[in-house]
Structure 1
Amino acid sequence: MDAVTIGKGDGSGPSGRSDALVEALFRPFRIGSLRLSNRLVHAPMHSNFGDAEGGVSERLLDYVDTQSRGGAGLFYVEHAAVEAPRGNNSPITLNASHERYVAGLAELADVVHANGAKAAVQIDHAGRQSNLRSTRGLPLISSSEVPWVPSGTVPRAMTGQDIRDMVQKFAEAAVRVQLAGFDAVTLHAGHGYLLSSFLSPFTNKREDEYGGSIENRMRLLVEILAACRERVGPAFPIICRLNGADHHPGGLTNEDVVTVARRLEEEGVDALDMTSGTRESGHWQFPTLYMDPGLQLDDVRAVRSAVSLPLIAIGKINTPELAASVVSSGLADLVAFGRELLADPQMPQKIRSGRKSEIRPCIYCNDCMMQLRSFRGVACTVNPSLGRGSRLAPREAAAARQVTVIGGGPAGLTAAIWARQCGHDVTLYEREPDLGGKLRLSAMLPYRSEQRRWLDYMIAECGRLGVQTILGADAASGARIEAGGDVLIVATGSEAAAGNPADERTQSVETALRRFEALGESVLVADGSQQGCELALLLAASGRAVTLAVGEVAPDSEAAVRVSLLERLGSARLRIIEGAAIAASEPACEVRTRDGERIPVAADTIIVPPAPPAVHAVPGDLAAKFAAVHVVGDAAGTTRLMDAVFAGAAAAMRI
């Protein structure tokens, strides 16, 4: 991808304010008749906060209220189905398929407007990328009978009558969006959903006037645009969300998309909201920690050279500087943030007021996606407030307490920050010479730069808020800890065993990172976890001979994370044996495959899955000196980073 820069440094003055960032991102802009106060867009993201029938719930209103206070000029309230339940992409999908939903949609628009932003709805039909649970047993429909494998069913190819009906469904939904008081409507023709399935040769195998050439494949989208324009009138902005490319074999290419974009401009669309990827290439749709920032900008560049329409760019735009460079270079007119605004809804305001060092970064772990696929409300690893509204948000306590936090990992740091934000006096003790706990170790792994940024953010927040931090304080011995006070929060973490005591070569990922330089020249990695695979990448990059021999690669990772990790592993200089287990760990180590083959592997060090961790307990005599004690994070048996952070925040709120 061509470099996009705005010069040396960020132009920040003594206050941290960047005039270059503010000038680039906070200039007004028009999409047709719609005037936006700035160039920042809150992307449409599913929340699972609507009611069971696709209506607007109080929880959704509360969530949209919180998110739209952040300062983005254009706010999407997530997508809405034009046909329910057949068009749903999950069992809980916002609905625009009937007039009875207009009142609820109007409440959403009112909330966004009250917070100073313009409001839009993305209308959509999931097509083949749904499942029978979401459609309540109704058969899936698509351009052709090409299944999305996880759905477990083959979609029915739409008939001519189906197509004519679908044109009207989109047009009627657009009118409902307009009636509800929204400022714009977006037709979702990306990400492999129904309209995207007609555009893509991967899914469109039709032999009628809606299949074959790109002119035929775009026919349904053009007809829907025309029908919507006829119903909403010439002044109401219509935006189209469009894949710049599908990024999988046989999918939509830049060349075809340029043809589509030119035709949409001729037909009077007001802007293009550019994106990339389908469910077959979900790591492009939801870029992960293993993917480069701004990875979709080349797709935007292909369209930029072909049309004069306003363009919205998205795709792991992970810093204000990158966003500003996209706008100031003319590559796109607006920049959309998705997961970045889940991590910190206040990011636009912080940029504008010169507080960009206070932006809580997204770490691109995609645990938010795992939440949604488990039919739970959207949640964020680094932002425990997300979706919880007033139930979990820092607020001034009735009385200030003396709070002692023992342990400076993610749970302890979160507890200290939140307790201080509530007005308590907080002292944080950490036994190591640096804060971070196991988070500091894992940040050593490749592609973890955002995790390191998050750790730096939490440490800086402790300093900014006035948390007293004391390093080298061991809770087990009580060294340097001034015991006594109102509340003790125990976040001492846990420690995995180093490996197999019978073989000194065996180590866990954690111990290997601590002793990285002494691991030898050849390493067998038999830990298939995400971190085990990342350690294999780090070892290979250091020039060691690495064999990754595991039953399965990162089986517990989010789907897009796993796919992009496999891509990184495939391009690294290491040997991979899947379906394998260690058969013997003598000097001439053997790996046994599922079919019984035994493969000798030379190894100075063997990385094995960790044994059950030992918890760092706080002595009872220390805990007895406090009026209340809360145990959080790994010290309480937590295994997920998201849960540890949430527990730290929740403990602070219980004070």
Structure 2
Amino acid sequence: MHYKNTFKQGKIGNLTLKNRIVMPPMGTNLAGIEGEVTDHLIAYYEERAKGGTGLIIVEFTCIEYEYGKGFVRQLRLDEDRFIPGIHRLANAIHKYGAKAFVQIHHAGRQSNSSLINGKQIVAPSNVACAAVGEEPRELTTKEIKELVNKFVQAAVRCKQAGIDGVEVHGAHGYLINQFLSPEANVRTDEYGGSFENRMRFLKEIIVGIREKCGEDYPITVRLSVDEFIDGGIDLELGKAICRYLEKLGVDGLHISCGTYDSMDKMIESPLFEQGWRVYLAEEVKKEVNIPVITVGSIREPQFVENILAEEKADFVAIGRGLIADPEWVKKTKEGREAEIRKCINCLHCLHSVTGNLHVRCSINARTGRELEFKELQRLPSNKNRHVVIVGGGPGGMEAARTLSLKGYDVTLFEKENKLGGQLHLVSDPIYRKKMTWHISYLSNEMKRLNIDVRLNTEATVEDITAYNPYAVLLATGGRPRLPQVEGNDLEHVYTYEDVVLQGKVFTKNKVTVVGSGMTCHGTVRRLAEAGNAVTFVEIPTKASKRIGSDTRQRLLDKLKNINVDIVTDHKLERILPNSTIVQDLVSGKYREIESEYVIVAMGIEAYNPLEEPLRDKMENMFVLGDAVGYGSLGEATRDGFEKAYLLESIVTQDREKGKL
């Protein structure tokens, strides 16, 4: 087998796993309002088990709901009434030969008062987490002893529910991590001060689980072995914690990093290289003899195999990669690597759950909706129909892929000489590599499914109607949005498409770029690296709202390092032949920026020239993606998938409406 290390059995304690791939715990917001297991949650995990994953560590599960809650719809195991739901979940995972752990958790100072009914959050010490911004109340010694017991009781409930083992959440700045960290724990009693005292809380939890669940019940601990914050745990201290836990008898270590105060290290943006934090697990593995799990933006099968072959870790956790493609493991084992829908690190899943929605994925529309959209049903052989799609961007290709799997004949027109549409606008080198993965995946699906793709063909009404198609999907995308200000039509005003797609070259000029978002940042960087004196006027756009604050700051820092003049908190007033006028949003003062060229990168507006002329000629015509005005990869993918999946239903509904 090509991936002999990946598909070798492995052991955590006495538990044998069928391969070395672990799904790490990730909050989904799919639990019920009381923290109970739901059918949607079971379907989500069952899909990943069915896809071949060896071990699934179920998302962080609350051991004390009064103060420990860390999420709006967080799973609970603080009472016996939650055991039956966890038991159903365990059975669903076990059906496919996967094993299941549950991660037991208390948020500590990384909860907030709105999550716990207005009460003050608690922590080892009254040291605030800057990212939360609330001062916690210091736990009493009596409360700490009670919390130890609650962790232990949650583990007992896991065992009763048929869960194969527990992961104790000692990472990412949550309560146990707070006890371990010199930055968060400034206690002077038996639970603070010395290394041994800071370890005491976790030690008592581990010892208690062993006493109640038995020596053979697997226990792993997830750790941030580097918090990446001043005064916190660094790698040397992290390794000492790992050595201590091995002596305590834990069965495995799940090596992570970061806290809410270093969120960009905890959940990576697209700007991080694949596997950038594997070195942390590699360093820990030199120190201990128990299994080590590594994690962190790991996407490619060969990358996983290399980690294992080089003994940098014993198991590899693939998190968002399994959100994007539940069949990652199955496809790898069957040699279908080109069919893997690789995660692009866009953080859409994170933004979904932190926005109080269930987990969603920008490139997999079924994520979190497995019960709504079950496996595709092919058309009966006598119902073979033809669908024409105009536009080879992500929405058009996702629709083509889905329709083909349902048994439709599909013809796709694309006016450019390559597929991918707006995805080609990403220019940051690291992010571009990830986006290229997705372009390659979709393009490969077009070939694999024998979809009739017509490149370099701008579809006309005549081209489309010549097929007498059952339906037409218009995915013609968008075009750059121009600011509605004086001077937007001057000759020296260009768009980001002129720079990124058309290759317009500017060198040693004074260039002002107006806009925001990932494409805008890439355009600015490209112009600066070409030797221009660039001023970046950051104007909020719809696209910029999809960038987290940590990612935005990293992007701005990159631009500062290449001498870009950055102007924030201003609005564009007008464009003159030799300058750009902006106004300070706070003081109201105007500033004139000398500009030989102005580049506008303020997002896109819908471009849909075919809908009107086709309206009277086609009964079943639908517009999707950017052509409707959605403007994001996630929205385009979802729209393309849904319209294709539900095509017959939509057509039927439209016909019934017409009869009324």
Q: 1:156 aligns with which of 112, 115, 137?
A: 137
Q: Shift of residue 362 of structure 1?
A: 0.6
Matches within 5 A, 1:377-416: 377-393=358-374, 394-398=376-380, 399-416=383-400
Contact in 1 for aligned 2:480/2:601 (Cα 8 Å): no
Match status 1:290 vs 2:257: no
Within-5 A mapping of 1:547-562: 547-550=535-538, 554-562=544-552
- Matched residue SS, 2:323: helix
Query: Which residue does the alignment assign to 2:614?
Result: 622
Counterpart in 2 of 1:325? 306
2:570 pairs with 1:580: yes
Letter in 2 for 1:148: C
CA distance in 2, matches of 1:84, 1:611: 43
Question: What residue is the counterpart of 2:30 in the other structure?
Answer: 49
The aligned residue for residue 28 of structure 1 is 9
Q: Which amino acid counterpart does residue 512 of structure 2 have in structure 1?
A: L
1:519 aligns with: 506
Q: CA deviation at 1:315?
A: 0.5
Q: 1:539 to 1:206 in 2, by over 3 A?
A: farther
Mapped to 1, the partners of 2:95 and 2:37 lie a distance apart of 17
**Contact 2:179-2:191 at 8 Å conserved across structures:** yes
**Residue 108 of structure 2 contacts residue 121 of structure 2 at CA under 8 Å; is this kept in 1?**
yes
CA distance in 1, matches of 2:177, 2:82: 25
Contact in 1 for aligned 2:349/2:361 (Cα 8 Å): yes
- Between 1:577-586 and 1:323-332, the stretch displaced more is 577-586
TM-score (norm 2): 0.91
Q: CA deviation at 1:65?
A: 1.2
Give the 3-state SS of the residue equivalent to 2:222 in structure 1.
strand
Q: CA contact under 8 A between 1:633 and 1:648: conserved in structure 2? A: yes
Q: Specify the alignment match of 1:437 in structure 2.
A: 421
Describe the shift of the 1:612–1:242 C-alpha distance in structure 2 as closer, same or farther (beyond 3 A): closer
- Give the alignment partner of residue 604 of structure 1, picking from 581, 596, 614: 596
In 2: Cα distance, 1:221 partner to 1:124 partner: 12
Unaligned runs of 5+ in 2: 648-660
Q: Which residue of 1 is the match for residue 657 of structure 2?
A: none
C-alpha distance in 1, partners of 2:279/2:556?
A: 23
CA contact (8 A) 2:507 2:531 kept: no
Give the superposition deviation at 1:385. Answer: 1.0
Please give the per-residue CA displacement for 1:353-376, whole angstroms capped at 9, x wherever unaligned: 111111001110001111101111
- The equivalent of 1:473 in structure 2 is 457
| C-alpha spacing 1:75/1:614, structure 2 compared with 1 (3 Å) | closer
User: Which whole-Å CA distance do the structure 2 matches of 1:524 and 1:436 have between them?
Assistant: 28
Distance in 1 of aligned mates of 2:373 and 2:110: 34
User: How many angstroms apart in 2 are the aligned matches of 1:282 and 1:600?
Assistant: 37
Letter of the structure 2 residue corresponding to residue 395 of structure 1: Q
Where does residue 100 of structure 2 map in the other structure? 119
> Against the structure 1 CA distance between its residues 473 and 444, is the aligned structure 2 distance closer, same or farther, given a 3 Å change threshold?
farther
Calculate percent identity across the aligned residue pairs. 32
Q: Distance in 1 between matches of 2:238 and 2:430?
A: 34
Match of 1:421 in 2: 405
1: CA distance, partners of 2:613 / 2:464:
15
Counterpart CA distance in 2 for 1:458 and 1:496 is 24
User: Which deviates more from structure 2 when the two are superposed, residues 441-450 or residues 100-109?
Assistant: 441-450
Alignment of 1:646 onto 2:638: yes
Deviation for aligned residue 1:509: 2.2
Match of 1:95 among 76, 87, 103: 76
Q: Name which of structure 1's ranges 484-493 and 602-611 shifts more when overlaid on structure 2.
A: 602-611
- Which residue identity is paired with 2:459? A
Amino acid at match of 1:373: T
> Which runs of 5 or more residues in structure 1 are unaligned?
1-18
Distance 1:651 1:149 in 2: 44
CA distance in 2, matches of 1:482, 1:469: 16
- 8 A contact 1:80–1:96 mirrored in 2: yes
Offset at residue 157 of structure 1 (A): 1.1
Instruction: Report the equivalent of 1:464.
Output: 448
Q: Does 1:535 align with 2:527?
A: no
- Deviation track 1:183-210 (CA, whole Å, cap 9, x = no partner) reads 1100000000100111122222222232
CA separation in 2, counterparts of 1:100 and 1:538?
A: 57
CA distance in 2, matches of 1:58, 1:616: 40
Q: Which moved more, 1:419-428 or 1:561-570?
A: 561-570
Q: What RMSD over aligned residues (CA atoms) do the two structures have, in Å? A: 2.2
| 1:559 to partner: Cα distance | 3.9
Partner of 2:438: 454
2:161 to 162, 180, 188: 180
Q: Residues of 1 paired with 2:194 and 2:575: CA distance?
A: 59
